[in-house]
Structure formats: C-alpha cells, structure tokens
Structure 1
Amino acid sequence: MEKINYEQIRTSVVTKVRFCTLTNKGRYVPNHWHRAIELVYLLEGELLVSVENNSRILHLGECMLINANVIHSNKAISFNKYILLQIPLDFIENFISNIQQIKFVVNDGQESELKQQKINKIKAFLRKMKELDDKREENFLLYFNCLLFELLCLIQRNFSEKVYQIDVSQKQQDLVKLNEVLDYVAKNYIRAIPLDEIAQVAGFQVKYFCRFF
C-alpha cells in the first residue's frame, strides 16, 4: 500500500500563499494531502493528475482545482510547465467563515459556456499573478493581493457547493483534532515526538490515535 504523506505548505511570508511556476520532466509526486486549496494551470506539456479515485490528463491551457484535505498525486508524462497556487484554509477562513462546509467544483472544458468564461477568467488572473510575481516591481504585493482576492471571490460565487451538514459535523470534529496535532508537530518538529505524547495532544489512547491519524 502506498504511503500517503501530509504536505506542510511553504507559504510566502509576504503573500501568505504559495505561488510558483514549476517545470519538470518525468517527475512523480506520490499521494499526499494538505490543508490548502490548490490550483494547477498548465502552460506547457501534459500532466497526469489523480484526485482520490479519478485521474485526468491536463493539456496545454487547462486548469484544475483540488480541494483541501483531499488525497491527490501527479505525474509528468512529458516535459511540462505549470502555475501552482496553494491557498491555506487558515488564510481563507479569515474571509470565508464557512469554508469547512464548502467544496469547489471546477471542470475546465466540461462546463456551460457561461461557466467556462468564468474559468477562463481564473486563468487570466493566474497569468497576471505570474507576470507580477516574475517582475516583483514596486507595489507588487498590492496588485498581487487584489488579483488573489478577486480570484477567491470568483470561485466562491461561481464554483462553490455546500457539503451535507451531516457529513460536515463529523468531519469538522475530526479536523479540529487533526489541526491540533498538526500544529503541535509544526511547533516541535526539531525533536523526536513520542507517540504517547502526540496521542495525548489529541486526547486519544495510542492505539486509537494511530487509527485516527
């Protein structure tokens, strides 16, 4: 069984998100998850992206949104170049209070004409953000954040779906516990953390904690 890794998002101290342009050939990023929504926009080549049990090949000019706390992986099936934007939930919660009850559904190339126009606008925002990030001219942060918040508003208004409340209740409780554990690990990662110690942080017995985590 393949190991599933938790990714600690390395955000910029300036923008509070992770924004970069990646190039690779034949690289495989195994199954992992993180507490951030992720946007991938392909500028060159092809990229195989697997989200839970579904896989899709992204081609030149296509984009994909991956929700937070979802297991996913990707593999370069040819040389490729893509924009990557990761926005942590902790950041989004400052502006969208019910973000834990929302999932975003963006199906590039499979939407109605009106929604596809909105997706094309997402891509335009990402291209402009890349241009700003590449140049880093005066007032970079002001213009970058303007685009970031416009992008968030766009996906929240047009691509958000409510998660069933019955599912949210249990998931919310699990995420609260999980966040406490991850925060503790982030603050103490420079030393070995005994299993019984981290189980106590979550308020579980060791055996149950292992199953939970």
Structure 2
Amino acid sequence: MPDNIYMQNYDIREQGILVEYRTTGEYLPAHWHNSLELVYILNGNASFFLEGAEHKLVPGEFIAIDTNQIHEARCTHSYMMVVLRIDDDLIQRLMGNKRNFQIICSRAELTNELVPAYLAICDRLKDLVTLHLKQPKGVMIATQSIALDILYRLIKDFSIPLYKEDLPEPSRNQLRIKEIVSYIDKHYMEPLSLEQISTVFGLNSDYFSRMFRQNIGIPFTQHVNHVRLSHIYHDICTTDEPVLEILDKHGFSNYKLFSRMFKELYGDTPREIRKRAREETL
C-alpha cells in the first residue's frame, strides 16, 4: 500500500505505546491484536465490525477495540485518523498483572451518563494531534503521558470487571474462528469453498456458515474475497503489474465480481486507485 502515515509515527516500543497519524483510508479484514487499540476519525468516515456487530464512526468520534477482540476495519472513506495502540503487556504491568476487566467503548454503546467521559477522551485524542502538528520539545514524553491518561480514563469509565472464578476458558467457537481466519490468511490464493473449509475443520457446512457469520459479521465467501481484495489493493498501489495478473496471483477469478466488490470497498476503480497512489509518491 502507499505510505499512508502523515509525518512520523510515535513508536515508543519500550513503553508499549504506538501512535500513528494516517491520511488515507484502509481496509483490514477480520483480525486481532495483542494490544488495546483506539481509532479516532478526523476526516471521512469508517465502519468497524467487532465480533459480528457493526459500529459506524464520523469525524470527532473514536472506538476502543480491546485486546484479542476480532474486528474488521472498513476505513476506505476515512482520509485522516489517529490510531493509538497500547500493548497488553504494558496494561498488565501497570495493573499489577491483574487484567481482570474488559474495555467496551464506542459511540453506539454510550449512555447519557458516559457521554462526558467519552468526550473527555476525544479531547485527549485531539491533544495528540496538536502535539503532532506543533512538535514541541519533549513531544515523545507528552505523547506517552496522554496515551496513559487515555488508558486511565478507559479503565475508570469504560471497563467491565471480570472475576477469575467466573471466567470460562476461551470458547470453542472463538478459538475455531481464530484458527479459521488464520487458515484463510494462509490459503486465500487457493480455491476455498464453504464445503472444503468445513471439512478441514471437521464441521457441518451449515453450522460453519452460521458460526462464521455470527462471529465475523459477513458470510464466509465474502470474507475470503475481502482478504483477496486487500492483497490486490496493495499490489495495485505498489506495483505496475497488470490488474488481471494481480487478480490471478491472489486467487480472484471472477473479474466482474471483482470490479463490483473493489469499487464498493475502496470507492473507486483500480485504475483510479493506482493513479492516485502514484501521485502521492511523487
């Protein structure tokens, strides 16, 4: 993909904090991180699917995605955003190795009582942008300080306590879904039918189809095509290979379906996307 980071990142690896400023959209199929992630939209709009549920964002809003939470990011119409990630190992250290809570925070789930707390975090995210633009002395220290303050506010106002004795082992479906997503990531270039992958995982195809859609939010075939599209988009932006050769390389055999899905997902044709990517690198 073209370099979509505006100026530099603030990658404070020793502290477990990463801040990115992005100026072009992106699409990421279902995935998860070993970190708490906040996405704050400055311009454009975005949709996130968290474990099957859609959350839409407009400028001035953010969403928090907790560690290991399966999510799909549709930010192709978001042209400026801030992404903050806080490593879960850091969170555990700061909490005395007691990660006995889950963070749930998005605009769609706000109660009236929590609106001021949500807006306060929005103000802190705006402070990150101001720091980024002004570049004062000690900007890295200030960035870390704001990130930790945001973490504190999320834990204080948007965390749900989880007690060890009440926690089941990770559900079989969650483990299966992660295994399935990983399998698709490795084999997306190959023909992948519902019947074939159901057999690989020893599941009935109807059950597999329902389970996948409930956890990911879209049908299995659509997810596979979205994975292919994300790789195709990358090659369109970064190579001069003919589009048909790129499609063939990434396992997309139906050009008519590709054209429709690509424009729905990225808002433009491959030709226009490639042209814009070249202009951005000049």
TM-score, length of structure 1 as denominator length:
0.67
Q: Which moved more, 1:130-139 or 1:32-41?
A: 130-139
The within-5 A match list for 1:1-213 is 11-13=11-13, 16-25=16-25, 27-97=26-96, 99-108=98-107, 110-166=109-165, 168=167, 170-171=169-170
**Secondary structure at the residue paired with 2:12?**
coil
Whether the 8 Å contact between 1:47 and 1:80 is mirrored in structure 2 is no
Query: Contact conserved, 2:40 with 2:60, CA < 8 A, in 1?
Result: yes
Amino acid at match of 1:19: V
Change (3 A) 1:30 1:18: same
After superposing on structure 2, the runs of 4+ consecutive aligned residues of structure 1 that deviate more than 6 Å are none
Aligned AA for 2:102? K
Cα distance in 1 for partners of 2:155, 2:66 equals 12
The equivalent of 2:238 in structure 1 is none
Partner Cα distance (2:123, 2:36) in 1:
18
Tell me how far 1:37 sits from its aligned partner: 0.6
Query: Following the alignment from structure 1 to structure 2, what is the Cα–Cα distance between the partners of residues 157 and 145?
Result: 18
CA gap 1:159/1:77 in 2 versus in 1, 3 angstroms: same
| Gap change, CA 1:99 and 1:63, over 3 Å in 2 | farther
- In 2, are the aligned partners of 1:43 and 1:61 still within 8 Å (CA)? yes
* Distance of 1:143 and 1:28 partners within structure 2: 30
1:94 alignment partner, SS class: helix
- 1:69–1:91: structure 2 CA closer, same or farther, 3 Å change rule? same
In structure 1, the residue corresponding to 2:16 is in which secondary structure?
A: coil
Give the Å deviation of 1:125. Answer: 0.7
Distance 1:146 1:166, change over 3 A: same
Q: CA deviation at 1:159?
A: 0.9
Query: What is the distance in 2 between the residues matched to 1:22 and 1:60?
Result: 14
Q: Distance in 2 between matches of 1:76 and 1:142?
A: 29
Larger helix percent:
2
Larger radius of gyration: 2
Q: Which amino acid aligns with 2:154?
A: I
SS in 1 for 2:114: helix
Distance (whole Å) between structure 2 residues aligned to residue 31 and residue 101 of structure 1 = 25
Q: Residues of 1 paired with 2:135 and 2:98: CA distance?
A: 30
- Cα RMSD (Å): 2.3
Partner Cα separation in structure 1 for residue 112 and residue 12 of structure 2 = 35
For 1:113, the aligned partner's letter is N
* Aligned AA (2:16): K
Q: Aligned pair in 2 of structure 1 residues 135, 46: CA closer, same or farther (>3 Å)?
A: same
| Contact 1:101/1:168, CA 8 A, preserved across alignment | no
Q: Distance in 2 between matches of 1:153 and 1:83?
A: 18
Name the SS for the 2:23 alignment partner: strand
Q: What secondary structure is seen at the aligned counterpart in 2 of 1:100?
A: coil
Percent of counterpart pairs with the same letter? 21
Aligned residues: 161
TM-score if structure 2 supplies the norm length? 0.52
Query: 1:192 maps to what in 2?
Result: none
Higher RCO (C-alpha 8 Å, min separation 6): 2
Inter-CA distance 147–76: structure 2 relative to 1 (3 Å threshold): closer
Counterpart Cα distance in 2 of 1:139 and 1:116: 31
Alpha-carbon spacing, 1:99–1:123, altered in 2? closer, same or farther (3 Å): farther
Shift of 1:24: 2.3
